[in-house]
A and B are shown apart, each in its own frame.
Chain A
Amino acid sequence: MMFFFEVLIGGLMSGIMYALVALGFVLIFKASGVFNFAQAAMVLFAAMFMAGMYGDWGVPYWLAIPITILLMIGLAWVIERFVLRHLVNQEPIIMFMATIGIFFAIIGFAEIIWGSRSRTLDVGLPDDMLFIGDMLFQQYDIVTALMVAVLVVLLMIFAQKTRMGRVLRAVADDHQAAQSVGIKLSTVWVVVWSVAGVVAVVAGIVWGGSLGVQPVMVDVAFKALPVLLLGGLTSIHGAIIAGLIIGAGEALAEVYLGPIIGGGIDNWFAYIIAMAFMVWRPEGLFGEKIIERI
Chain B
Amino acid sequence: MNETLLDVRNLSKYFPIRGGFWDSVTNYVKAVDDVSFYVRRGETLGLVGESGCGKTTLGRCLVRGIDPTGGEAWFYPDGSEGIDIAALSNKDLKPLRRDIQMIFQDPYSSLDPRMTVFDIIAEPLKVNTIAERQEIEERVKYLASVVGLNVSHLRRYPHAFSGGQRQRIGIARALATNPKLVVADESVSALDVSVQAQVLNLLKRLQKEFQLTYIFVAHDLSVVEHISDRIAVMYVGQVVETATTENLFKSPQHPYTEALISAVPKPDPRDRMKRIVLEGEVPSPASPPSGCYFHPRCRYAKERCTVEKPAYREVAPEHFATCHFAEELNLKA
Bound together? no
